[in-house]
Amino acid sequence: MTRLRPKRVAEAIRSEVADILAREMKDPRLGFATVTDVEVSGDLRHVKIFVSVMGDEAQVSETMAALESAQGFIRSEIGKRIRLRHTPQIVFRHDTSIQHGARVFQLLQEIRKEEGGRE
């Protein structure tokens, strides 16, 4: 039972942070960011939020800087929206899994084209 609660809290935080990024954040540095995963510690005091950002390296660094500067705002919004004894400390991490998946897909497409040309 105790392992189920961090998962539920992580899902609630993921949903709320996605809503905050889409509707509440007004920072012009914030690019097209998607919350991909949330990890919550067992004591619910620390949260890692994994964010995927579309764009080049400059856009990624600007978006991550915007998220870092908005940590306090996002933490306070989470505290208002989710009822927890302690509002967790937030750390943002850039998630590159979507870019890796797109690259693998591109490589598979190239292999198919090469195999089709040989036959």
| C-alpha–C-alpha distance, residues 79 and 88, integer Å | 8
pTM for the full predicted model:
0.79
Q: Return the pLDDT at 99.
A: 78
| C-alpha–C-alpha distance, residues 91 and 24, integer Å | 19
Comparing CA positions, the residue from 59, 55, 13 lying closest to residue 36 is: 13
Domains and CATH numbers, the chain: 4-118 (3.30.300.20)
The 10s digit of each residue's pLDDT in 20-48 is 999 988 888 888 889 999 999 989 999 99
Side by side, which strands form the sheet with 46-53? 33-40, 46-53, 89-94
Cross-strand pairs, 48 = 39, 91
Ranges of the chain whose pLDDT falls below 50? 1
